[in-house]
């Protein structure tokens, strides 16, 4: 037979805090609580033994007395009445309840407030008081269906409300309004206890739920477990009955948030004794056999192989810091450990509530540091120790980076005494709790926060913000990050983009901040930049059509056609990445956030002097840089190309340009047309050939021999003379 304990059971942080505040206030005397501090008679009796009275109204108090507001909270008029009567308030309202009160007050200004919970419960009465007349409490789906239509509804939950019931009512409320605002104010600690108890009940033949029978959250625990297995609700170990355990192979144990560890421990011990005897009867073994021979699952005996000594508190399952709501700035957590006022020891748990117990918050001074532990003087019978993995929410490379000897700190008790007699503490759980209000605020306000990278993990980095935070690699920079290791130890500027305290999920982004700054710079630059301005920038990216130049907040496009007057194939012929360039603003499109840049515009246009340099009739040389079906383009200088039309290539008819000239060939041609205003020069190789022929013809004509002059008389004179003879 085994006994299994629920992972989450016993005091939550809110109850811990309420008791500690009350005990501390009691030391000053004249202290009373308004109603029972928590729904646990044993704790109430203990507080009464410390001189803490109980009143039902302000009228019962005398001027100058202290009044403890219990964890359930009260309506605002109670504070007013106390102030009018000069009563000092010790506000022990649970932080979760305080959050619900604030939300109710704020929501009631614009919406009708629905509180899902028991309308007779002090907590619900208090929340309704903060909401005013514009509010109503319901607890069932039937009540929700009966509601009329409201233009706007804000729905909250009693902190101990079952999530499944809350969700059903929320779905129904959507039919009664066009604007439903949902505030899930269910205490995650309560929800965790309910889930843990439900899972445990599925695996055992019997469940024992320990807690006040008037406690709402304890009754809900019983209801949940009863759906899975046979369940009994008890307040003390004396209520356990032997018959319940007959034919039971395994039993489960859980407790409400108002149940102290020492009561849970008593119940556990008695359950162990009953099951041990039952097992002995079934097996025929000696009923006095020690429990060591049959370890109980989850028990101290199973862990330490030693029975728990009578009068000590042993916490087998490390107590978790419970999730909390946002805490009012006025709430101060002061849980200094104080010894029993009578004998300085806590040996008699039957009559005294221990001041050191699992989940208690204590203050202490660091007195010694080793490689694996920090020793803290907490004013107890032995020093407390903080293991290295309980120092911070992230991996600790060097303890001395976190704490130093002489530092004062707060820590949570996770084990009252280990084998060496030390109280085991956790600093990270208190830090995490204290950070949660701030993180919730950061998630809402999107305020920037700085944190150091402590670990590199797959897909991102881990930072310590009191809680383990994850920064995805995609959220580190504006561009892709190849090597995450360069961020180890680096402080990042971060913004919370996702926060779920119940799941302990914290995701942050540095990229969001950088994008916002980039956008602000871009907007400012877009207003400052004007067409014609000459600015400097850095080439960040090259494409086939141009280069993108960072102007200090916005990237402008330097198109390939605006890089040079000459024709270029790729921007890399002119600029390279990271080059600093001086460019001119050609156009600014503020609506589309685009800037066009020019580089060649800062140079002298070579066409401005073409008329002087290449007049019609001049014979010039140039390189063939491009061939087209209609002719060849010849480069005369940077930015100046001339065309030799196919008809001007040769004297004879040319079928293909390539039959006469090739790219890269240096040719000589004659300028036959020059129109700089149209950026056009026409050349002719044919004209040179014709000029050559004309010159040759003229030269031949000029060099012919002289022919004697002959007149007709001279030519026929001799003929006539001969005829006469």
Longest dimension (CA), the chain: 189
DSSP3 helix / strand / coil % (the chain, rounded to 5): 35, 25, 40
The three-class DSSP label of residue 369 is strand
The side-by-side arrangement of strands in the sheet containing 66-69 is 53-55, 31-34, 66-69, 88-91
Q: What are φ and ψ of residue 442, in 5° steps? A: -65, -35
Q: What are φ and ψ of residue 664, in 5° steps? A: 95, -10
**With the CA atoms of 81, 83, 85 and 88 taken in that order, what torsion angle do they form, in degrees rounded to the nearest 10?**
120
User: Which two three-digit tokens encode residue 589?
Assistant: 């499109």
Distance separating alpha carbons of residues 418 and 316, to the nearest angstrom: 10
Q: 264: Cβ–Cβ under 8 A, 6 or more apart, which residues?
A: 9, 10, 210, 253, 255
Contact criterion met (CB below 8 Å) for 182 and 159: no
Using the 8-state DSSP alphabet, how is residue 9 labeled?
A: -
The three-class DSSP label of residue 341 is coil
Distance separating alpha carbons of residues 32 and 187, to the nearest angstrom: 26
Catalytic one among 60, 81, 110, 123?
123
Contact criterion met (CB below 8 Å) for 565 and 597: no
The enclosing H or E element of 114 equals strand 112-116
- 295 C-beta neighbours (distance < 10 Å), count: 16
List the Cα angle 679/682/684 in 5-degree steps.
Answer: 165
Helix 41-49 with 13-26: angle, nearest 10 deg: 20
Annotation marks residue 706 as catalytic = no
Distance separating alpha carbons of residues 232 and 208, to the nearest angstrom: 5
Distance separating alpha carbons of residues 294 and 459, to the nearest angstrom: 46
Q: 98: Cβ–Cβ under 8 A, 6 or more apart, which residues?
A: 73, 325, 326, 327, 328, 331
Distance separating alpha carbons of residues 465 and 424, to the nearest angstrom: 23
Positions of E strands within 235-328:
250-255
Active-site residue list: 123
């Amino acid at each position: 037979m085994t006994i299994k304990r629920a992972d989450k059971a016993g005091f939550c942080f809110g109850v811990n805090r309420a008791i500690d505040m009350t005990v501390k206030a009691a030391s000053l005397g004249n202290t009373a609580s308004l109603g029972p501090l928590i729904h646990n008679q044993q704790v109430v009796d203990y507080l009464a033994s410390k001189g803490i009275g109980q009143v039902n109204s302000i009228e019962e108090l005398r001027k100058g007395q202290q009044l403890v507001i219990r964890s359930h909270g009260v309506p605002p008029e109670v504070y007013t009445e106390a102030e009018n009567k000069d009563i000092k308030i010790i506000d022990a309202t649970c932080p979760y309840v305080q959050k619900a009160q604030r939300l109710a007050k704020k929501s009631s200004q614009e919406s009708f407030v629905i509180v899902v919970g028991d309308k007779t419960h002090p907590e619900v009465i208090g929340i309704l008081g903060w909401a005013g007349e514009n509010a109503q409490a319901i607890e069932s789906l039937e009540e929700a269906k009966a509601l009329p239509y409201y233009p706007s509804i804000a729905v909250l939950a009693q902190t101990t409300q079952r999530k499944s019931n809350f969700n059903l009512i929320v779905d129904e409320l959507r039919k009664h309004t066009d604007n439903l605002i949902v505030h899930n104010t269910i205490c995650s600690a309560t929800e965790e206890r309910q889930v843990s108890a439900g899972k445990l009940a599925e695996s055992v033949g019997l469940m024992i739920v320990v807690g006040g029978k008037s406690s709402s959250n304890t009754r809900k625990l019983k209801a949940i477990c009863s759906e899975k297995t046979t369940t009994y609700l008890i307040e003390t170990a004396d209520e356990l009955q032997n018959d319940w355990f007959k034919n039971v192979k395994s039993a489960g144990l859980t407790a409400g948030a108002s149940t102290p560890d020492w009561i849970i421990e008593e119940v556990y011990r008695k359950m162990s004794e009953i099951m041990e005897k039952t097992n002995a009867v079934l097996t025929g073994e000696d009923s006095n056999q020690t429990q060591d021979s049959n370890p109980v699952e989850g028990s101290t005996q199973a862990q330490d192989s030693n029975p728990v000594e009578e009068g000590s508190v042993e916490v087998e399952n490390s107590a978790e810091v419970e999730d909390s709501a946002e805490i009012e700035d006025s709430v101060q957590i002061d849980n200094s450990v104080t010894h029993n006022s009578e004998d300085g020891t806590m040996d008699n748990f039957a009559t005294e509530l221990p001041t050191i117990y699992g989940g208690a918050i204590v203050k202490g001074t660091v007195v010694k540091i080793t490689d694996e532990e920090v020793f803290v003087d907490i004013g107890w019978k032995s020093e407390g120790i903080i293991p290295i993995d309980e120092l911070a929410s992230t991996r600790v490379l060097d303890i001395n980076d976190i704490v130093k000897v002489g530092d004062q700190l707060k820590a949570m008790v996770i084990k009252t005494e280990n084998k060496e007699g030390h109280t085991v503490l956790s600093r990270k759980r208190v830090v995490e709790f204290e950070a949660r209000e701030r993180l919730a605020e950061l998630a809402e306000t999107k305020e920037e926060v700085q944190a150091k990278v402590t670990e590199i993990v797959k897909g991102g980095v881990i930072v310590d913000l009191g809680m383990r935070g994850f920064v995805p690699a995609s959220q580190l920079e504006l561009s892709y990050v190849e090597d995450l290791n360069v961020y180890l130890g680096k402080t990042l500027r971060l913004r919370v983009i996702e926060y779920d305290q119940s799941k302990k999920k914290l995701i942050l982004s540095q990229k969001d901040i950088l994008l916002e700054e980039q956008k602000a710079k871009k907007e400012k630059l877009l207003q400052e930049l004007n067409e014609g301005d000459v600015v400097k920038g850095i080439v960040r990216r090259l494409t086939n059509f141009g280069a993108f130049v960072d102007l200090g907040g916005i990237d402008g496009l330097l198109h390939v056609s605006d890089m040079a007057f000459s024709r270029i194939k790729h921007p890399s012929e002119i600029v390279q990445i990271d080059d600093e360039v001086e460019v001119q603003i050609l156009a600014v499109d503020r609506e589309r956030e685009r800037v066009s840049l020019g580089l060649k515009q800062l140079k002298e246009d070579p066409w401005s002097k073409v008329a002087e340099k290449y007049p019609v009739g001049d014979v010039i040389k140039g390189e063939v840089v491009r061939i087209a079906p209609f002719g060849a383009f010849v480069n005369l200088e940077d930015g100046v190309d001339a065309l030799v039309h196919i008809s001007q290539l040769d004297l004879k008819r040319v079928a293909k340009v390539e039959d006469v000239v090739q790219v890269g060939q240096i040719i000589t041609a004659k300028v036959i047309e020059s129109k700089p205003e149209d950026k056009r020069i026409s050349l002719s190789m044919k004209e040179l050939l014709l000029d050559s022929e004309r010159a040759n013809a003229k030269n031949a004509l000029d060099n012919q021999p002289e022919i004697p002059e002959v007149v007709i008389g001279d030519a026929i004179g001799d003929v006539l003379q001969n005829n006469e003879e």
